[in-house]
Amino acid sequence: MPTLTSPIAGKVMAIQVAVGDKVEVDDELVILEAIKMETPIYAEDAGIVAAIKVKEGDAVKVGDALMVID
């Protein structure tokens, strides 16, 4: 089960998918805010969203798990 980890440090602004959604590679999954810029985080794997590990407003560091794609 691949885990999507955060490539940058920032604050979770929005989560664009829900558990159970089907996603494709390069789909926009999470929007982080870092250095006042909205940075969309894209899917690295295709599959079903199995779990979402963060919520809006959370601060994340590089390597923190964002969601699990099955």
Partner 1 sequence: MWEAMQDLLYSGGVVRLAPGQLIMWAIAFALIYLAIRKRYEPLLLLPIGFGILAVNLPVTALMEPGQGLIWYFYHYGIASGIIPPLIFLGLGAMTDFGPVIANPKTLLLGAGAQVGLYLTFFAALFAGFDLSEAAAIAIIGGADGPTTIYVGSMLAPHLLGATAVVAYTYMALVPIIQPPIMRLLTTRDERRIVMRNLRPVGTLERILFPLVTAVVVMLVVPAAAPLISMFMLGNLFKESGVVERLTKASENEIMNTTTIFLGIAVGATMTHETFLQPRVLFIFFIGLFAFAVSTATGILLAKLMNLFLKEKINPLIGAAGVSAVPMSARVVHRVGSEANKRTYLLMFAMGPNVAGVIGTVVAAAVFLSILK
Judged by the rule CB under 8 A, the positions of this chain that interact with partner 1 are 7-9, 26, 34-37, 39, 41-42, 44, 62-63
Minimum CB–partner distance for residue 41 and partner 1 (Å): 8
Residue among 36 and 55 whose Cβ is closer to partner 1: 36
Residue among 46 and 62 whose Cβ is closer to partner 1: 62
Q: What is the 3-state secondary structure (H, E, C) of the chain?
A: CCEEECCCCEEEEEECCCCCCEECCCCEEEEEEECCEEEEEECCCCEEEEEECCCCCCEECCCCEEEEEC
Residue among 26 and 70 whose Cβ is closer to partner 1: 26
